[in-house]
């Protein structure tokens, strides 16, 4: 039961960060975040523990990209 609660909180925080990035026009940041989330869910998906690891890793990636956004080539 605790695992499901943690997953809910982590998912909410992750989606909140993605929403704020979208509203602030940080589209390259957002695309990289979503791609990272999809890859992590694919790799770790299938089990509840794997999904939890993927969501936490995705949240940490979102936080990292918030402070260090990707630099695009001009």
Condensed to tens digits (0 to 9), the pLDDT of residues 13-55 reads 988 988 998 999 888 888 888 888 888 888 877 787 887 888 8
Please compute the mean of the pLDDT values over residues 2-11 and round it to a whole number: 84
Query: 26 or 3: whose pLDDT is higher?
Result: 26
Residue 43 falls inside a structural domain: yes
Residue 74 falls inside a structural domain: no
Domains: count for the chain: 1
Residue 51 falls inside a structural domain: yes
Asked if pLDDT for residue 65 goes beyond 60, the answer is yes
Residue 24 falls inside a structural domain: yes
Domain that holds residue 40: 2-67
For 3: left if phi > 0, alpha if psi spans -120 to 50, otherwise beta; the answer is alpha
Residue 60 falls inside a structural domain: yes
């Amino acid at each position: 039961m605790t695992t499901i609660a943690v997953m809910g909180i982590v998912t909410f925080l992750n989606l909140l960060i993605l929403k704020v990035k979208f509203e602030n026009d940080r589209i390259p940041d957002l695309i990289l975040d979503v791609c990272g989330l999809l890859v992590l869910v694919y790799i770790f998906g299938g089990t509840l523990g794997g999904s939890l690891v993927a969501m936490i890793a995705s949240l940490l990636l979102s936080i990292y990209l918030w402070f260090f956004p990707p630099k695009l080539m001009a």
